[in-house]
Structure 1
Amino acid sequence: MVSLSHLGPEARSLAMLPSAERLARLRMERWIGYTCAHQALVQLEALLSDEPGKLRPKNILIVGPSNNGKTMIAEKFHRAHPQRMSEDGEHEVIPVLMLQMPAEATANRLHTALQATLGTPVGFYGRHDVREALTLRLMRAVGVRMLIIDEVHNLLGATARRQRELLNLLRFIGNDLRIPIVCLGIRDAYLAIRSDDQLENRFHPLLLPLWEAGEEFARLLASFETVLPLREPSHLATAPLCELILRRSEGTIGEITALLNSATVAALLQGEERINCAVIERADYHPPSVRRRMVERELR
């Protein structure tokens, strides 16, 4: 009898399936908890449960490198507070409204994104003041208590005048609805918010830095091991395997996930039930810096 004590309940049942079925299910999205992510979720919960209607609600800016878990944290929080029917059953309630800052960031496009996320048919054109009033009225009608905006660094692609207009709009939405705003983005997101003194004072930064060797990274790898459907323990958190994973992934949780998924595929295709350094080296995976060099070489 194979011992699967190193796996969580869901992975334990998957591990008993044939390799082909495990490979088919491997790409399913999995939540991997770690200290910074848990802290972020706790802060978001506290923000949402804070006394509604505060004159100056607290805001949060989650900043970190690309592919380092910002959106996954926000989506997990969003899923915990889904759209629902009101108690009287007469209308929809959307406690947490989440959207992405438009790639071409303008006030009109942001209003369009807000209205589309609210489920309202919209057209791009219309008087700005009318669209603004409609957006705020809709958000009040469905009981929005928190606004989450991903990719807020897209602001910096706009002209200086449009940047000021958009930052003023964010401040106005927060003030008028008296709701907290959560922004997500790379380092440039902080630069965008910092360009407005009033917004900078209201947004409390929460950093998701690159991963480094240490106890926290070892705990992260131990968490990963509980969800990978392999029948033998890999001891991912021990050296030199831990060091190899960190070096090849270059320190972002998205790349760590991609590397370990590829290594699991390689192990199963080779008839193995654990990940070791040789499996990592044979995995169909290239670190971000290698992928960039490959593209640059092709473009010469």
Structure 2
Amino acid sequence: MADHLLDQVRPYLNRSTEERISYIQAPRLIGHQGAIQAHERLAELLGRPPALRTRGLMLVGPYANGKTMIAERFAVEHLKTSERQSVWVVQTREGAGLAHFYGSILQALRAPTGSSRDVGRKVEQIDHLLDSLKPRILIFDEFHNALRGRARDVEAVLAFLRRIGRQFDISPVLIGEVAVYDFINQTAEMATRFDLHAVPRWEYGEEFFALLDSLEAALPLARVSDLSDEPMARMIFQLSEGLIGEIVAIVSAAALAAVRSGMERITRSGLEELHYIPVSKRRRASARDDLL
């Protein structure tokens, strides 16, 4: 019974509907090959010997494709196994200017930011924190937000990345869209400081089918859904447009509907009843007209 489920998932079939729904809605990292390789690259940075000119890493790809979850999962796993926190995640603030950028670092390091826009003071505060906390990796999520300001501010941000390697032995990790790759590679000097790990959209094929099998095994439904078989796999791929965040959202929504209806499996008709609109079509969706 329920041999299609992972061992740790199978007991949830005996839980209440509310508990099963909560489990399905919980965020989860699917251990696909791209995520495993990214984790290995981050581990290499964490375990490297001291250096005066540290190398960093770019995790670059489209939105909703799992980059943030990979980084956060790595940071959490490190924190669970280490006596001292060496990996910090900075949520790069929206809005141009150095004050926003430095403010996001102070917030990540759990320091009071205040209302001052004195950039020099913020830099002094950050330097003091980096010297005392001694992080090995600073992960800048949504780093493309820091690249939308004036040219001199962007150059100051890049200079900061160079300096923290030399002065504090920190490897910066930049997460974002393709603009991050473009900016870093505008000069050979910056390009030599960062390796690239691409997180592209999924292609329709065996790896995508394996991903669907992994998802099906992780969702507590009593009956087999055969997500990786045609035409189910094709429909999920088209709706998701190859974005893993959308893939998980679609399958999870269909699983919730299957639990609530008592169907206990995801079907093609169940997917159709979601009326799910792909990201690229939402701007032109009929639902938008109802908002006017």
**For the structure 1 residues 71 and 19, does the alpha-carbon distance in structure 2 shift closer, same or farther, using more than 3 Å as the test?**
same
Q: Does 1:219 align with 2:216?
A: no
Report what 2:34 is aligned to: 36
Distance 2:178 2:128 in 1: 33
- Residue 100 of structure 2 aligns with an amino acid whose one-letter code is R
Identity %: 34
**Which one is further off, 126-135 or 181-190?**
126-135
Distance 1:160 1:269 in 2: 53
Structure 1-normalised TM-score? Answer: 0.90
Distance 1:61 1:183 in 2: 5
Q: Does 1:204 align with 2:195?
A: yes
Q: 1:214, CA displacement in angstroms?
A: 1.0
Query: Paired residue for 2:47, among 18, 27, 49?
Result: 49
Distance 2:258 2:129 in 1: 51
Work out whether residues 48 and 145 of structure 1, in 8 Å CA contact, stay in contact via their aligned partners in 2: yes
**Which one is further off, 77-86 or 37-46?**
77-86
Work out whether residues 233 and 274 of structure 1, in 8 Å CA contact, stay in contact via their aligned partners in 2: yes
Work out whether residues 4 and 231 of structure 1, in 8 Å CA contact, stay in contact via their aligned partners in 2: yes
Cα-to-partner distance string for 1:121-143 (whole Å, 9 max, x where unaligned): 23343754443233122112112
Report what 1:184 is aligned to: 175
**Which one is further off, 37-46 or 100-109?**
100-109
Q: 1:4, CA displacement in angstroms?
A: 1.6
Report what 2:93 is aligned to: 102
- Residue 172 of structure 1 aligns with an amino acid whose one-letter code is R
Report what 1:69 is aligned to: 66
In the TM superposition, what are the counterparts of 1:108-119 in structure 2 within 5 Å?
108-119=99-110
In the TM superposition, what are the counterparts of 1:246-285 in structure 2 within 5 Å?
246-283=237-274, 285=276
Work out whether residues 263 and 284 of structure 1, in 8 Å CA contact, stay in contact via their aligned partners in 2: no
Report what 1:193 is aligned to: 184
Q: How many residues align?
A: 291
Cα-to-partner distance string for 1:1-53 (whole Å, 9 max, x where unaligned): xx1211113321112224344224321111211001000000100110011x2
Report what 2:76 is aligned to: 79
Gaps of 5+ in 2: none
Work out whether residues 87 and 136 of structure 2, in 8 Å CA contact, stay in contact via their aligned partners in 1: yes
- Residue 62 of structure 1 aligns with an amino acid whose one-letter code is L
**Which one is further off, 208-217 or 107-116?**
107-116
**For the structure 1 residues 131 and 83, does the alpha-carbon distance in structure 2 shift closer, same or farther, using more than 3 Å as the test?**
farther
Work out whether residues 62 and 182 of structure 1, in 8 Å CA contact, stay in contact via their aligned partners in 2: yes
**Which one is further off, 277-286 or 67-76?**
277-286
Report what 1:173 is aligned to: 164
Cα-to-partner distance string for 1:162-220 (whole Å, 9 max, x where unaligned): 11121112211222112211000011121222234322221111111111111111111
Q: 1:66, CA displacement in angstroms?
A: 0.3
